Structure 1
Amino acid sequence: MRQISNFVYCDDFIADLRYETRLMANPYYDYPYLIIENFLSAEACAEIAAYTSEKSEGERALVKHSQLGVIVPELEEDIRKTAIHQLPEALLEGYNLSFAYHQKQIEDYFKVALTTATEVQALEYTNGGFYIKHADDSNELVNSEGETVGFTQVAPARKITTVLFATTHRDEEGEGMHFSGGELRFNYLSGADGVPVCIRPKAGDMVIFPSNPVYSHEVLPVTGGYRLTLVQWHDAIIS
């Protein structure tokens, strides 16, 4: 393992691997990702979750593949089982204001200048929903034995990933907009004990990390409740 921040280590394989965008956080930080607590209020999160669960008809999320240089999205629920909702502007107003307020903090943390971004996607995971290991800017290359041997970049405009949790993780099911299971796990990042980093957030927390293969991650299967995140991918000038 290779130490990449005060409290987090990276798998040697991924640290030595060649990939197109080698963006990393400052190694003297406590963590190589950034968590902004209370990015959005509990009330605003509850309003968004109520909209997606009661009023919006989500679409099944697709998986992007590169075929002969062309990006082709396909429905593959053995890889990803989630639904995408588009939010009305009225529900995004508070999110956009908060993002503008925190943008400099994000840019300073990763030493980038954010430029363009995708539209906000509200990603819904209900009981049994999941997303297997993936990098946000690349497709994983696997050999005949199922071993990862590299990555090929398919979304070069994704430099920074932001994930806002609109519902709260709990170890056990409870009333309200909560979920059990569904942890965000970074597959190549761990503590000194070798245990993979798992994020168990509360509603209103935003997790920010580079979109490259070092930060490959998965959503573990949801075992109960309602997991809702607001996700964007941001292009950036890397200083």
Structure 2
Amino acid sequence: MHQISNYVYARDELLGMNIPTKRLPNPYQDFPYMVIEGVLSPHECRAITAAALEDKEAVQAELRGRSLDTTIRKTDIHTLSSEHRAVYDRRFEAVRKEIEDFFALSLSTSTDVQVLGYESGSFYVRHSDDASELQDHNGNTVGFRTVAPERKLTTVLFTTSYTPNPTDTDHFSGGELLFNYLCDASGNTITLRPEAGDMVVFFSNPYFSHEVLPVKSGYRLSLVQWHNAHT
């Protein structure tokens, strides 16, 4: 393991890999990612979640424009109403400078917001947001091929909360956000269990490869964007 912030380490196999877009935050920060609490209010979270649950036109998520093998990803994509998009934009602008200061960059263009719904059994296997994994004949990852260089930063805003035993559609069990190559000082893989209203922000490069573990019960909803930036 090699230390990349005060409390987080990266697994050593990354050191020998070809990572063209490698970039890490200031190593003197406690964590190499941000968790910004309360970006959305509880009322806003419930309203956006309710709208997604009522959406009869949700589509199965694709992988960069291609039809998707559901052994890789099982997720529904919803559309934000104009009202909820305006709320999202206001809340994002309120934290923009905090994000830019943390990562020492200036955000430029952004993708549309993906509204991703995970019902029981839904998941997304390990992936990098800006690259595809390169594997040898034994299936071992040996490097990465950049496929979306305009994705410098990823933001994930949750409208439902993790809990071990959900009793309503505002909560879910399972569905943890796991950073595959990041760990603590004891070697435990960094795993986040989000609260409704929280935004998780991280670089889109392979150091921050991640997966969504299978949802066991309840409903997991997140608003995802990818951002280009000047560094």
Whether TM exceeds 0.5 here: the answer is: yes
Partner of 1:172: 165
Q: Distance in 2 between matches of 1:79 and 1:144?
A: 19
Residue 86 of structure 1 deviates from its aligned partner by 1.3
Alignment of 1:70-219 (within 5 A): 73-219=66-212
* SS of residue in 1 equivalent to 2:154: strand
**CA distance, structure 2, for counterparts of residue 16 and residue 215 of structure 1:** 16
* Structure 1 position 3, deviation (Å): 0.6
Letter in 2 for 1:96: D
Aligned to 1:47: 47
| Over 3 Å off, 4+ runs | none
Supply the AA of the counterpart residue of 2:5.
Answer: S
Task: Tell which deviates more after alignment, 100-109 or 169-178.
Answer: 169-178
TM-score, scaled to structure 2:
0.97
Q: How many residues align?
A: 231
CA pair 107-16 structure 1, distance change in 2 beyond 3 A: farther
Q: What is the deviation of 1:17?
A: 2.4
5+ long unaligned stretches in structure 1:
65-71
Contact 1:86 1:122 in 2 (8 A): yes
Q: What is the distance in 1 between the residues matched to 2:161 and 2:52?
A: 15
Preserved CA contact (<8 Å) 1:56 1:85: no
Q: CA deviation at 1:74?
A: 2.4
After TM superposition, the structure 1 stretch with the greater mean CA deviation from structure 2, 17-26 or 124-133, is 17-26
Instruction: Provide the TM-score with structure 1 as the length reference.
Output: 0.94
| 3-state DSSP of counterpart to 1:90 | helix
Instruction: Give the partner amino acid of 2:68.
Output: L
Secondary structure of residue in 1 paired with 2:97:
helix
Residue matched to 1:12 = 12
Identity of matched residues, % = 48
- Spell out the pairing of 1:52-63 with structure 2 (5 A cutoff): 52-63=52-63
**1:212 is aligned with what amino acid?**
N
Secondary structure, aligned partner of 2:168: coil
Q: In the alignment, what sits opposite 2:32?
A: 32
RMSD: 1.1
